[in-house]
Each structure stands twice: as structure tokens, then as C-alpha cells.
A and B are shown apart, each in its own frame.
Chain A
Amino acid sequence: MKIEIFGKSYDVEISEIKEGKIKVKINGEEYFFSEGELEKLTLLEEEKIPKKTEIIRGTLVEKEIRAPITGIISEIFVSEGENIRVGKKVLTLISMKMENEIIAESEGKIKEIRVRKDQFVNTNDILIILE
């Protein structure tokens, strides 16, 4: 969106990058805010700016697919370097003999596959990293 203040034009882009964290881009410069109250935005100090891996949508840079449950990887359907879409079947995780098809929550290029076939994984272990 464009805003004009005292005759000067500003290109403003606002996006929520993480719950409670707002990014405001003004003429290409990025500023990060914490959303305390709707009316009151606090400018974040540099160390409090969310790391790229924490960013959830909009400006996604790196994302992970984690194990929803403890189990064994029985099949992997993707490979590193592959571009995947939301809903793509990435792997099968067998848990208590249930077969769980894990599908991608976000799109992106597969940076790293952290698991191999027949590997045991715990709940919340990182399985795949996307960029």
C-alpha cells in the first residue's frame, strides 16, 4: 500500500510473520514489532527479531516437517532439492502399526531429509527441512 505524508510517498507492507510479531516494510526497509496491543506496537530490539526459521508464513524462509508421533519411517516419497506443494505426501510413519501419511503443510524446496527408511523417530523430531 502507498501512503503519502506531507507530500512524500511511502511504500508500506505489513505482514504477520509469527504469532504476535509484525513486520513492517517501508520503502524496502524492514522493521519488526511485537504486537502488545492492537493500538500500541513496540519496536523490537535486534536480538528479539524472530529468526528466519521461526517465521511461519508470508515471508517463509525455512520450514520444518516434524514427527507428529513416535514411530518408524517406512517410506520416503521425496528427495532433496525437490520442490513440493502443500498437501504433497512426503513420507509414511508407522506407529503402533497405524500407517500415517505425512503431508506437507507448506510449499518449498526440500533442503534436507533428516531421516532414512526404517529409522525410529520420536514425537517432534525434525524429519524434513524446507527452504
Chain B
Amino acid sequence: MTDAVHVVGKSAALPVRRHRLSTRLWHWLNVALFATLFMSGLGIFNAHPRLYWGQFGANFDHAWLELERFPGWITLPGHYSLALSRRWHLSAAPIFAFALLAYMLWSLVNRHFSRDLAFRRGELAPGHVWRDVIDHARLRFPVGEVALRYNVLQKASYNLVLFLLLPALILSGLAMSPGMNAAWPWLIDLFGGRQSARSVHFIAVWAMIAFIVVHVLMVLLAGPVNEVRSMVTGWYRVPPERAP
């Protein structure tokens, strides 16, 4: 790379600090843990691929969903072993849960939540939200200073994941443990029974998969190198303003 190109590149796209260390660490830890939990979870599901609502549910009861077993290329381990799937799942789950807790506390302290994730005045106005929807649909990604902040749909989806989907996954997982049922009887009542908790766990994980698909798609469309670098090193090149 010549100096001239380097200078031009720099002036065209100033690198700025974008993601905090807490966010970056948590993000990549989650990539590994979520993949482990998802794949071992499908392995566990394969032991009884039927879902019910309520306190009980077995083969002779009404299932609201009945599936074939998930194939080996997407389960952990790659062959059917309920015991090993459980070992993977139960090893990753506490780390995943405590990492979320640590991230939440850290993000309160370093004000990531209040600065980056809290909605600002006027942001939730229907006109503003609609404009953001249109921008997404047209794949018009923010440029200049605006690109440094999360847009309203981004904030909404991150908040949904952080404060609803991930807690729902963790709590419904805990609610399936008979030991925890004795320790915290209120937890299972939150879901309306153990089989309901199992159904919620399943639905929440597929909602997470939907989020991840859209999330990765957005990264690819918005400029994968710049976006991934900013999540690895923290440095992000601000996309220049469009020519008028």
C-alpha cells in the first residue's frame, strides 16, 4: 500500500473507536457458547422431538409440535448421544448465563446501555421508525456520524435479544431442572409448567436464530470487513457522506 492511497483511505474513512472491550469480549464468547448450546440443544431435543403446553406431556398426550430428529451435521455430538449432548449443554449454559449477567452489570457501569441502547427522544415516533424501516428495505446504510450510533430498529432488536430472548432462554432452561423446581418454585410458574418451559426454550432459540441470520446478513450488506474489524479490534471506519 502506498502512502498516497493510505492517506486518501484515511481521510475518506476515519477510523474511530466503536465497540467497547466488554461488548467485543461478550460478542465472541457468545459466538462460541451459543453455537455449542444450540447444537447440543438440538441433540437433547432429538431424545424426544415433541413439544407440549402445560405441566406434563409424554407420548400419549397432545403435542403441539412433532418433528423428525435433527440430522447429525447440526447436532453436538455429531451422533445421537443424549448424555454427551447434555454434558456439552450443561457445561456451556452456566458460562453463558453468568457472562450475560456480567455483561449487563458492566454495561450499566460503563453506560453502554444508557448511551447506546436506550431510545432517544423522538426516536420511537412513528415517522422516524417508518423512515428507518424504509432505509433498511432500500439497504441504505447510515453514513457519516450517524453510522456511529445504533439506528432505532437495531436498538429495538438488540434490546429484545438482551432483555427478553436471552433471559427467557436462560430462565426456561433453569425451569426444566427438577432440582431448581424445588429451589425456586416461582420460576416454573412463570412459564406455566415444565413442558411449557420446554416449548418456550425451543421457540426462543429459533427466535435467536432468526436474529442471528438477520444480524449476519446486515453485517455482510453493510461492509463485512469494516464491521467485523470493529467487533474484533474496536476500530471502525466511518463511511463517508454520500455525494449530494
Q: Decide whether A and B are members of one complex.
A: no
A-binding residues in B (CB < 8 A) = none
